[in-house]
Amino acid sequence: MYKKKLLNILSNLEEQISSIELEMSEPSIFSDHQKMTLLNREYKNLKELVELRNKYQDVVRQFIEDEELLNSDDEEITGIVEAELPQLKSEIEKLEKEIFAHLAPPDSNEGKPVIVEIRAGTGGDEAALFSGDLFRMYSRYGEEHNWKIEVIDSNPTNLGGFKEIVFIITSDDTYSLMRFESGVHRVQRIPVTESGGRIHTSASSVAVLPEVSEEEMDIRPDDLKIDTYRASGAGGQHVNKTESAIRITHIPTGIVVTCQAERSQHKNRARAMRILKSKIAEQNRIETEKKTASKRKVQVGTGDRSEKIRTYNFPQNRITDHRIGYTAYNLGDVMDGKLDDLFDALRSAWAESVLNENID
């Protein structure tokens, strides 16, 4: 019923907390902002884990006691515990999911800003409108959680959508929450452009890339082909007058990045380089993982942009994440940025799939 080894994994949390407290008291830490941020995050996570573990222990203890009472000769007692056991089982499963979410394995990209690229796919204007909806969904969630969101580049349409929009999110928890958003997002609804009232299926793809710092990657100038051209689309009369837009091609990988968000060619080039470095790093990561693929298939998915991960069904007010079998009927709330339940389910599934080998 419950996972016996889970309590063993959680048995030394107090020792871990004491160790972090000792490290945080070192004078040298106060001048290392990045290290202090990481320690604070780990400390907060461990404190929350202690509370969850204590609740879990109490519920498991009650469940075991009730199971033993099933053998009682007192019919009144057995009737009471038979009614309690399903509730306790449900509570145990709920607490396990919360614990697994907190046990998600640390990643070297934790704490980094992420570059998010949303691109309209199948569905024409409707797909572009849905890309705009996804951007607003993440933006509204960010507003509630103090994320800093900066649009790096965009290609808007006349109807208010985006053929493509690229933005960077800065927050301590951004990567851990957004890392599972990469893939194809499918929408089923009646488009505003549909006069017959028929439901259409369209799609947009999302790519989430942790930003790469100057120190992490040095690109040789000889490996770059840089072109300038006149910007187009929304942005004021100036956009077509100067060759401020930038297209950078990384010759060894064939990766192409464009940027026309700024009037300044210099600023567009700097932004394009930020995107390019992250795309090169992501391609390297994918190639490395293919060569050293684990025997265990992680349940949440590969993070591949071409993987169909989620369906947003507006007529049924339903959202479904196909990787973990998550379904909820609160699509209106989700599109309004209320993503906590979905993010928790994804993090929990990821952690459980990784830890499951070591837990009965």
DSSP state of 329: S
2 pLDDT more than 60: no
DSSP assigned state of 314:
T
Domain range 4-102, its CATH number among 1.20.1300, 3.40.50, 1.20.58, 1.25.40: 1.20.58
**Residue 215 · residue 224 · CB < 8 Å:** no
Q: Over range 217-235, report the average pLDDT.
A: 80
- Can you give the pLDDT at residue 297? 46
Report H helices in 103-216: 125-144, 174-178
Q: Is the pTM of this model over 0.85?
A: no
Q: Which residue has the tokens 């349409």?
A: 157
Domain 114-215+299-358 class, CATH top level: alpha beta
Phi-psi category of residue 309: left, alpha or beta, with phi > 0 → left and psi -120 to 50 → alpha: alpha
The CATH-assigned architecture of domain 221-291 is 2-Layer Sandwich (3.30)
DSSP state of 307: S
- 301-326: string of b/e by CB count within 10 Å (b at 16+)? bbbebeeebbbbbeeeebbbbbbbeb
> Tens digit of pLDDT for each residue in 262-277?
778 888 888 889 889 9
SS3 328: strand
Task: Give me the pLDDT at residue 216, please.
Answer: 77
Residue-wise DSSP of 120-137: E-TTTHHHHHHHHHHHHH
At residue 102 the predicted structure's pLDDT band, cuts being 50, 70 and 90, is confident
Place 304 in a pLDDT band, splitting at 50, 70 and 90: low
Overall average pLDDT of the 99-118 stretch: 82
Residue located via tokens 């990481």: 38
Check: CB of residue 267 under 8 Å from CB of residue 197.
no
Q: Binning pLDDT at 50, 70 and 90, where does residue 132 land?
A: very high
d(CA 97, CA 248): 44
C-alpha neighbours within 13 Å on the C-beta side of residue 248: 25
Instruction: Return the H-helix or E-strand segment holding 35.
Output: helix 33-69
Residue 359 has what pLDDT?
55
Q: Which amino acid is at 186?
A: R
Number of H helices, E strands in the chain: 9, 11
Mean pLDDT of the chain, nearest integer: 84
**Mean pLDDT for the stretch of residues 290-294:** 57
Q: CA 112, 118, 124: angle at the middle one, nearest 5? A: 180
Query: Is pLDDT at 345 greater than 60 in this prediction?
Result: yes
Rounded Cα gap, residues 200 and 88, in angstroms: 43
Per the model's pLDDT, the better-predicted residue between 79 and 299 turns out to be 79
Which pLDDT score, from 0 to 100, does residue 54 have? 93
The number of CA neighbours under 13 Å toward the Cβ of 340 is: 4
